[in-house]
């Protein structure tokens, strides 16, 4: 089929995504990479107005880069995705907040604590609280990432840890009310709070 055939491009996206989902080791991710790169290039060339398809293709490519350990390239893609969502939908749209949360979580993986914390405090959390509410699952996830960005740095202070503890105590209370005590998100929040309290105990005993 010609490159401009939408069916072919859809098939390439499905193939790339399938390889990614099966990629418990890097060889399958290596196979997925050229497929995903070609699909993104075709989407941009022939359907530049189809933002949803381009963003989907970018997201898959970013995930593939991350699976292959090409973290800086993945970060560039995740930044582009969030910037594009904001440009299309505005900062308060759920998709913009979601892509921002994904970006912050990845920045925490790369130990870019200050940048993640600034994006969360200055843009994402105010937007989420305004448009989604304090009890929304995405707002709770943002708060959890904020707590992680506060305690992640080795040079964290006792005040940083206390702020993170307060954030997670409130987040856990809301998560239990919204999702129930046995929900995986609740269990994850309990684990984060427990880790933060361990950090605090270590500081106090030093």
> How many whole angstroms separate alpha carbon 45 and alpha carbon 49?
10
Confidence band for 39, pLDDT divided at 50, 70 and 90: confident
Q: Considering the chain, what is the average pLDDT of its residues? A: 88
Q: What SS3 state is found at 50? A: coil
Q: Any residues with CB less than 8 A from the CB of 162 and at least 6 apart, and which?
A: 200
- Is the confidence at residue 142, as pLDDT, over 60? yes
- Is the confidence at residue 19, as pLDDT, over 80? no
Confidence band for 34, pLDDT divided at 50, 70 and 90: confident
Q: What is the pLDDT of residue 2?
A: 47
- Give the ranges where the chain is alpha helix by DSSP (H): 6-21, 26-46, 51-67, 71-89, 94-109, 113-119, 125-131, 137-151, 158-179, 184-205
- Is the confidence at residue 188, as pLDDT, over 80? yes
Rg, the chain, Cα only? 19
> How many whole angstroms separate alpha carbon 142 and alpha carbon 146?
6
Q: What is the pLDDT of residue 26?
A: 58
Confidence band for 85, pLDDT divided at 50, 70 and 90: very high
> How many whole angstroms separate alpha carbon 42 and alpha carbon 159?
50
Q: What is the pLDDT of residue 50?
A: 87
Structure-token pair, residue 82: 């969030």
Q: What is the pLDDT of residue 114?
A: 95
Q: Any residues with CB less than 8 A from the CB of 172 and at least 6 apart, and which?
A: 186, 189, 190, 193
> How many whole angstroms separate alpha carbon 77 and alpha carbon 63?
9
- What would the mean pLDDT of 116-135 be, rounded to a whole number? 97
- What would the mean pLDDT of 36-41 be, rounded to a whole number? 87
Structure-token pair, residue 136: 């929304």
- What would the mean pLDDT of 175-203 be, rounded to a whole number? 95
- pTM to 2 decimals? 0.84
Most confidently modeled of 11-20, 41-50, 88-97? Answer: 88-97
């Amino acid at each position: 089929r010609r490159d401009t055939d939408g069916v072919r491009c859809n098939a390439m996206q499905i193939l790339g995504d399938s390889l990614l989902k099966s990629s418990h080791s890097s060889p399958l991710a290596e196979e997925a990479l050229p497929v995903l790169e070609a699909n993104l290039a075709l989407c941009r060339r022939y359907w530049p107005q189809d933002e949803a398809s381009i963003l989907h293709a970018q997201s898959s490519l970013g995930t593939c880069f991350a699976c292959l350990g090409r973290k800086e390239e993945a970060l560039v893609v995740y930044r582009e995705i969030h910037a594009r969502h904001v440009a299309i939908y505005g900062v308060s749209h759920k998709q913009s907040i979601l892509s921002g949360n994904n970006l912050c979580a990845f920045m925490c993986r790369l130990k870019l604590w200050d940048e993640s914390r600034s994006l969360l405090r200055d843009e994402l959390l105010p937007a989420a609280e305004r448009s989604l509410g304090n009890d929304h699952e995405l707002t709770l996830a943002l708060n959890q990432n904020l707590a992680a960005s506060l305690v992640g740095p080795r040079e964290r202070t006792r005040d940083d840890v206390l702020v993170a503890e307060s954030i997670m105590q409130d987040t856990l209370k809301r998560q239990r009310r919204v999702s129930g005590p046995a929900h995986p998100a609740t269990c994850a929040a309990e684990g984060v709070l427990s880790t933060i309290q361990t950090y605090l105990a270590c500081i106090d005993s030093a």
